[in-house]
Amino acid sequence: MNPYIGHDSQIYGIEEHRLVGGKGDGMRLLEVNNGKGLELTVSLDRAADISRLRFRGINMSYFSPCGYVAPAYYDSTGSNWLKSFTAGFLTTCGLRAVGSPCVDEGEELPLHGTIANQPAEHAYWFEENGELVVRALVKDETIFAAKLRMTREIRVSLVENTFTIQDTIENTGDTVQPLEILYHMNMGYPLLDEDSVVEIPSAGVSPRDDHAAEDIENWMKMIKPQAGYVERCYYHKFEKEGKASIYQPKIGQGLEISFDAEELDGFVEWKMMGVRDYVLGLECGNCYPDGRDVMRKTGMLKFLAPGEHKTYQVKVRMIEK
């Protein structure tokens, strides 16, 4: 025990809060502080995603105009997912659909799936081996339909400014189910502006569409917010280890994302330089966001058999110079 302090929270810890008012009323939030400058907010009622990320008191992530939106407001029609897209540092997309709304084998699928609007069934946290650990169980199960559940573990180091997100997804039903997941990680101001240095050391990059292709030579260059900007997405392929980083020289800090590119084989750079819609997505996943029907046709769609489970992990390291 530290003889200088009365309570651990003087230095580090986890506190649970609830929101009051607006569409986020009643939502449970975990405020996590590692005592070394890293702070993050875990939104338990939104799949235990990470709604805010701060380093040394400076915001790192993008928070959309929607703000906090409780799951009760979720509308699964078409692209109405956007009406509750808080973004934050992490919004998880999946588990049965990622990307464009589509019809796949007769099933109508909404934008980015339903998992991000599922509240954790239960969650708890503890300290272990120099880390703060949050564990949450999120179920996406329906009668007469697919039954998937995700056990999420977020480990925040007390020794260095890093954290990991590890998800184990299990098929608890009795039929084989498609499995799609995308870690929609969103960089925002002041980390993101026209001077940000973006590095994605991929083996190859390709545009999602003709609009992105028109400016592919500038995929790594950020610009000032532009009225009427139309998003551009670029797909990056890695050989084994996936990495992507952003650094802001004006604040002397940034972050790096790393992952197993053989397991998470679909990396998306979402470049959105609009007014107030100003965000850079660095998104690793096991698919591309073109709709599950397209992934099935290209052979990229993954599946889980009854009783089978799959684990994915992403690590985030803060950069300071």
Cα–Cα distance measured from residue 105 to residue 237, given in angstroms and rounded to the nearest whole number:
28
Give pTM, 2 decimals. 0.97
pLDDT score, position 321:
87
Q: Indicate the class that CATH gives domain 12-320.
A: mainly beta
d(CA 244, CA 266): 13
Residue-level pLDDT at 265: 97
**pLDDT value at position 10?**
95
- Look at phi and psi of residue 242 and say left if phi exceeds 0, alpha if psi is from -120 to 50, else beta: beta
Average pLDDT, the chain: 97
Whether residue 254 is predicted with pLDDT greater than 90 in this model: the reply is yes
Mean pLDDT, rounded, for 67-86:
97
**Cα 309 from Cα 321, distance rounded (Å):** 40
The average pLDDT across 43-62 equals: 98
Report residue 217: phi and psi, to 5°: -65, -15
- Residue-wise pLDDT for 191-245, tens only, equals 999 999 999 999 999 999 999 999 999 999 999 999 999 999 999 999 889 999 9
Confidence of residue 19 (pLDDT cuts 50, 70, 90): very high
Q: In which band, very low, low, confident or very high, does the pLDDT at 264 lie, cut at 50, 70 and 90?
A: very high
pLDDT, position 1: 80
Q: What is the structure's pLDDT at 314?
A: 98
Q: For 133-158, write each residue's pLDDT tens digit.
A: 999 999 999 999 999 999 999 999 99
The pLDDT score that the predictor gives to residue 252 is: 98
* Domain ranges for the chain: 12-320
Instruction: Give the Å distances, CA to CA, from 208 to 97, 168, 215.
Output: 18, 29, 12
Amino acid at 4: Y
184 has pLDDT over 90? yes
Region 32-47 average pLDDT: 98
Q: How far apart are CA 189 and CA 282, in angstroms?
A: 15
Res 306 pLDDT > 90? yes
